[in-house]
Structures are given as C-alpha cells and as structure tokens.
Copies of this chain bind each other. A is one copy, B any other.
Amino acid sequence: MALEHAILVSLAERSASGYDLARRFDASIGHFWKASHQQIYKVLGRMEGDGWVTSEVVPQDGRPDKKVYVITDVGREELARFTTTSTPVEPLRSAFAVKLRALPFGDADAIRQDVRVRRSAHEQQLAYYAESAARFYPDPDHLADDELGGWLVLRGGILAEEAGIAWCDEILQRLAER
C-alpha cells in the first residue's frame, strides 16, 4: 500500500514519466523502497483511475513519446493524509538470520564466507551514503525545509549500515573462535 505514496512523494517533488520514476526508484527513493518499472506502470494506472495523478503524452523528437504524470490536488490531499497515519515498525524478514539459525545443520565455512560478502556489501552501501551526504548536504546543520526529510532518510540508512557492519563483525569474531 505504500508504493503509491512513494510515487506521490516523488511526483510532488517533480512531475515525471513512468520511466523517470523507475530510474528514481533505482537511485534515491530506491534506497528505502524498491520498485520495478512493471510495478510502477501498473500502480500509476490505478492512481490515475483514482484521480491522484493525471497524465499527458509529450511527443519528443528522436525518442519515443513519454507520458508525464502530474500529481493532482486529490493526490496531495492523499499524501497529507498519509503523513497522519501511523506506520507500524516494519517486521524484519531476514533470510540471513534463518541461515545463522541453520548453523548446526549446515556448512560453517560457507556461512563465514557469506558473512564476509555481506559485510563488504554493507561497507559499500555505507560509502555510497556517505558520499551522497557529502555531495547533497554539505552543510547538514543548516538544512532547508525541503531538504530535512531526505537528510534524515540518509542518516537512517547510514545508521542501519553501521549496525549491519557491527553485526557482521560480531559474527565473524564468534565464528573465528571455533
């Protein structure tokens, strides 16, 4: 139920085609909400039916036409309403934790290797977030109103990656003792 709202946020920031949105969902927004272009087109159709967005076909030269979606007043109201609903803490669903519990029934070396891979993935993501923070928010103590949300989301990502790395380190230490 929240892909709609992620799209509304994105369109409220700037109107876009389904294709544009798909690229945004590969980058900025995609850090906390993934969506494939297929899913985006599907949901956009429903949102247009609900009157949350309108679309206009824009011809281009040397490129296929694009359908640019614009948020409507109804869409803005829906987005405002969404901010007043409570968002339950999303339950974590971790295949990695399942694997840890499977330790006595499986291959400890393979798991150790997987933890290392996982740790470096966290490191990479952290580096990416740090770079984004430095580039887009060079002065985090003086943020404009429309920058605060993005900054806070980035901070959340950074804290999560740091926690992930700390977890991997604990696991590796414990597994090394055996």
Contact = CB atoms under 8 A, between A and B. Distances in A.
Interface of A: 2, 5-6, 8-9, 12, 29, 31-34, 76, 79-80, 82-84, 86-107, 110-111, 114, 117-118, 121-122, 125, 145-146, 148-153, 155-157, 159-160, 162-164, 166-167, 170-171, 174, 178
Given A92-B32, A160-B92, A84 B98 contact: no
Give the secondary structure class of A's interface.
helix
A77 to B, nearest CB: 10
A18 to B, nearest CB: 18
A97 B32 CA distance: 7
16 contacts: A5-B95, A31-B92, A32-B92, A32-B93, A82-B106, A83-B103, A84-B107, A84-B110, A87-B95, A87-B96, A87-B114, A89-B96, A90-B95, A100-B153, A151-B174, A152-B170
Given A86-B117, A89-B118, A94-B90, A102 B159 contact: no
B91 A5 contact: no
A152 to B, nearest CB: 5
Nearest to A111: B83
Contacts of A121: 88-89
The CB with the most chain B CB atoms within 10 A, among A97, A104, A110, A163, is that of A97
Contacts of A159: 163, 166-167, 170
Contacts of A148: 103, 174, 178
Contact of A110 (B83, B93, B97, B118): B83
